[in-house]
Each structure stands twice: as C-alpha cells, then as structure tokens.
Structure 1
C-alpha cells in the first residue's frame, strides 16, 4: 500500500476525531477499490433490461440505477442511443438535493456544466422549460454538447462565458442555479486517478477563492424564492463548509435548506444543513452538497431574447 502523505494525514485528522475513521478514510484514497457503476435514465427503461440492477438506496431517485461491479454500461448500444448517462453515484448523492425542489421550474442555469451530468439530472428531476448550460473552459465544451445531444436534453442552450457576465445580464432570472464548483478534486484519488497537489494549502486556498467568486456571481442570478445548489467532489473544509459560511455571511437573504433524506450524512464540521459522502461509505468517491433558497419576495425577471445573442450561444438543442 502506498504511504499516505503528511498533508493527507493532516486532512484526515481535521475531518475525523476518531483514529479508526481517519484510517478508513486514508485507506480509501491510498488503496482505492472500485465502486458500482451507475446510470441515469434519460428515456424510459426498456422492458428487457440488459443489466442486473442492485437494490436501491432509500434516497436513490427512481430514474437512477446502480449496477454490479465490473459492468461497463458505457459500451452498451443503449448508451450510444442516449437512453442513459453514466455517472459516479457520488454525483447522484450531491444532485439528490434537487429532488426537494417543487417541480414548477421555468429556468435552470448550470454555471459549471461540463461534462453535463448535473444538467441531465436536473432536467430529468425537474422538467424545466429551459436549461442553460455554461462552461467557461473551452476545451470541455465538446464533451458537454455531445452528452446533451446524445441524451436529448431539450430545450437547452450551451454558453461559454465567465460567471460575472451572467450576474450582470441575467439578475433574478433563474429558478435554480447549479454550481458544481471547480475544486481540488481530492476524490479522484478514491477512483484510482491522479490529482497532483490536491492537498496542498496553496491549491486549496486558490480553489476556495475561485469558488467564492463563482457562488457570489451565481447568487445574483437566483430569482426570489429560487434555489442555489452548491456541490464539490473534494474533502477540504475550506472548499466546502467554509465557502458556505462565507456565502451566508455575504448574502443573508439566502438560507440553507434541510434535506431530510440526507439527514444521516449531515456534515459534523458545521451546524449549517449540508451533507457529505465519504469514499469509505463505499457508495462513491465522495461529495459535498448544499441547497440554498433565496428568501426574498418578489417576481423573477423574464430574460430578454436579445440577451441570448449578447451571450453568444454556442449550441441550441
């Protein structure tokens, strides 16, 4: 087994007081084990399923299935036909907070959308009138557009702008804004992948500052009584609970919503209702998730059609 770094040891001690839990967490990263594949159905399930389905978790959405270890659903013809999207079950955990939102959703805005899994989840869970998927990193646009097209996510727009542009041009317009924030990606290690420097304080602080900027800009898009979902696939408190505490101190009109079906996953690092999945739970590589609501009264602002021209739509479906 690979020896854990001092920075990983420090993080484990910050996350868990119990030495046994520290050890379980570290083992999950230095000696990663495979997780069950997971698929999100974008079309109705065929009568004759090509896979055996694992028993669902209590909070698992009806349109998601976990498959046995070793299955490779991405190679199946139904995947190529857009029947389902493959994702880590940690993403299902994080996005499951959207199931508590009333379904009368006009506009969903996904601020950090590539490769598209959270957008597809929101589309399936909430059936919005329109979903706008933004991706600021140009080289990730191709994958995002390909997944939205394959899974028939319509009507949807793909845009490629900094979050500040939308804060300026689309205030109070969105019933739900998704922020699957760019992060240090520490959970990649639990998948057996590389994440160089992911535990270094400099990288963590740089990431947290970027997250604060994105969530602050994203908040300005949220309509009165609308929702803001923030999630990461990393473990550092600076990128998770501390971002949320900072956000609530700057935007007091927002409040964190208690998610009853995730109550047992409540973060023990804060009193704010927010939720963590760890790799030693053996469901997925790990995630942090929280749902805020804009408590201001009033009406959302209709988007002017010429705004879309100003934003420069890359793709329309």
Structure 2
C-alpha cells in the first residue's frame, strides 16, 4: 500500500476518532478494490435476471439491483435497449433520501444533472408530471441527453443555464429540486481513478463556495412545502456538513428532514440529519446526502415552459403538462 499524503491523513483524523477506522478509510483510497456494479431498472424487471444479484439492503428500492462482482451490465444488449441504467450504489444511497417523500410531486428540477443517474432515479421514484434536467457544462449535455433518451425518460426537458438564471425566472415553482453538487471528487480515488488536488484546501474551499452559490440559487426554486435534496460524492466536511449548516442559517424557511432508513449512517460531525457512506463500508465509493423541506405555506408559481429554451424536449408530454397548469 502506498504512503498516504499528509492531507489525506489530516482528513481521516477529522472524519474518524478511531484509528482503525482511519486506517480502513485510507486503505480504501490508496489501495482501491472493485465495488459491486449496480443497475436501476427503467422498465419492469425481467422474471429471470440475466445477472447474478447480491442480497438487497433492507431499504433498497425494488427497481435497484446490486450485482455480484464480475458482472458487466454495460455490455449487455438490454442496456443498449434502455431497460436499465448503470450507476454506483453510492448514488442509490444518496438519492434514497427521496424515498422519504410521500406527497405528490408535480415538478422536479435537477440542477446539476449530467450524466443523468439522479434524474433517472427521481423519475423512477417520484413519477413527476414533469422532470427538468439542467446541465451548465455544455460538453456534458450529450451524455445527459443520450442517457435520458435511451432510458425513455418522459416527460422531460433538458436545459443548459446557470443556476442564477433559474432563481430569477422560476421562483417557488418546483416541488423538488435536486442539487448533486460539483465537488472535489475525493471518492474517485476509491474507484481507482485520478482526482488531482482533491485534498488541497484551496480546491476544497473553491468547491464549497461554488456549492453554497448553487444551493442558494436552487433554494429560490423550491415551492412552499417542497423539498431540496443536497448530495455530493466527496468526504470533506467543508463541502458537506458545513454547507448544510450554512444553508439552514441563510434560509430559515427550510428544515432538515430525518431519513429513518439511513439513520445508521448519520454523520457524527453535525446535529443536522444528514448521512454519509464511506468506501470501507464496501457498498460504494462514498456519498453524502441531506434532504430539506420548505416549511412556508402557499402555492407554487407557474412556469413559462417556452422560456426554458430546452436543448432537448419530449414535445407532446411537455405540451400536456403546460396545458394542465393553465
């Protein structure tokens, strides 16, 4: 095993008081091991699975399968046909906070949508009247649109704008807003990938400031009694618990929602209900998730769908939604 950097050592000590947990965390990053592949069934599951499947977690949605090591679902013809979407189980963990939502959701807005996994999960879980998936980075739009098309996600609109524009043009409009925030990407190391500078304080602080800006803009979209889901795939408290604490101090109309099925993953770094998965848990590379509710009373505001300027639109379904809110 390679020698951990001083920055990684410092982070491990901040995250874990127990030296054994620190060592397990470090080992998972500098000597990464493969994780079980995972698929999200976009269509009804086949009676006989073409893959060997692990025993599901107690809270695992019925449309999720965690496969045995060695399975290659991305190479199966069913993948090309859009029967399922391949994702890391960490993404399932993070998005599973949405399983707590029981009320009907009319409009979902995914602020940082590419490559599309959280949008697909939300569409499968929530079944909204309309899903709007935004990606501000133009070169990532292709993979987002391709995945949503392949998985037959509808009704759906893909847009390409900065979060500040939606804060101005779509206030109080969305019953659920997802913020899978861009981050330092430290969990990439647990997958055996590169994430240069991911532990450097300058990079972490830059990411944290960007996350605060995005979540603040996203909060403007959330309708009264609506939800905002915040997620990352990194470990630094500055990008996770500290963003949540900043958000609740800045936006007192929001309250954190306890997610009962994730209680054993509660972060010990804050009193706020929020949850962490670490790579040494052997379920996935790592994730952080928190769910907030806008407790204000009132009605959501209507949106001008024509003003969205979607780069990809399921025309008929979106037209039906537009007519339903007139």
Alignment-derived partner of residue 272 in structure 1: 272
Alignment-derived partner of residue 313 in structure 1: 310
* TM-score (ref. length: structure 2): 0.95
Distance (whole Å) between structure 2 residues aligned to residue 23 and residue 44 of structure 1: 42
Superposed CA RMSD in Å reads 0.7
What's the CA shift for 1:306?
Answer: 3.4
Question: Would the aligned equivalents of 1:11 and 1:236 in 2 still touch at CA under 8 Å?
Answer: yes
Distance (whole Å) between structure 1 residues aligned to residue 133 and residue 273 of structure 2: 27
Distance (whole Å) between structure 1 residues aligned to residue 263 and residue 66 of structure 2: 21
Q: Are 2:65 and 1:68 equivalent residues in the alignment? A: no
Q: Are 2:203 and 1:203 equivalent residues in the alignment? A: yes
Query: What SS does the aligned partner of 1:109 have?
Result: strand
Distance (whole Å) between structure 1 residues aligned to residue 130 and residue 175 of structure 2: 11
C-alpha distance after superposition, 1:238-263 (max 9, x if no partner): 00000000000000000000000000
Alignment-derived partner of residue 260 in structure 2: 260
Distance (whole Å) between structure 1 residues aligned to residue 48 and residue 305 of structure 2: 44
Alignment-derived partner of residue 249 in structure 1: 249
Distance (whole Å) between structure 2 residues aligned to residue 245 and residue 239 of structure 1: 11
Which aligned pairs between 1:27-66 and structure 2 lie closer than 5 A? Answer: 27-66=27-66
Alignment-derived partner of residue 11 in structure 1: 11
Distance (whole Å) between structure 1 residues aligned to residue 139 and residue 2 of structure 2: 33
Question: Would the aligned equivalents of 1:173 and 1:223 in 2 still touch at CA under 8 Å?
Answer: yes
Distance (whole Å) between structure 2 residues aligned to residue 80 and residue 304 of structure 1: 34
C-alpha distance after superposition, 1:126-172 (max 9, x if no partner): 10000000000000000000000000000100000000000000000
Question: Would the aligned equivalents of 1:103 and 1:126 in 2 still touch at CA under 8 Å?
Answer: no
Question: Would the aligned equivalents of 2:52 and 2:71 in 1 still touch at CA under 8 Å?
Answer: no
Number of residue pairs the alignment of both structures matches: 314
C-alpha distance after superposition, 1:7-30 (max 9, x if no partner): 000000010111111000000000
Query: What SS does the aligned partner of 2:231 have?
Result: strand
The unaligned stretches of length 5 or more in structure 1 are: none
The unaligned stretches of length 5 or more in structure 2 are: 315-326
**Bigger CA drift: 285-294 or 297-306?**
297-306
C-alpha distance after superposition, 1:283-312 (max 9, x if no partner): 00000000000000000001123322xxx2
| 1:110–1:68 CA distance, 2 compared to 1 (3 A) | same
C-alpha distance after superposition, 1:100-129 (max 9, x if no partner): 112511000000000000000000001000
Which aligned pairs between 1:100-179 and structure 2 lie closer than 5 A? Answer: 100-179=100-179
* TM-score (ref. length: structure 1): 0.98
C-alpha distance after superposition, 1:258-286 (max 9, x if no partner): 00000000000000000000000000000
Alignment-derived partner of residue 302 in structure 2: 302
Question: Would the aligned equivalents of 2:173 and 2:301 in 1 still touch at CA under 8 Å?
Answer: yes
Query: What SS does the aligned partner of 2:22 have?
Result: helix
C-alpha distance after superposition, 1:30-73 (max 9, x if no partner): 00010000000000012222112111001111110010001110
Distance (whole Å) between structure 2 residues aligned to residue 305 and residue 9 of structure 1: 49
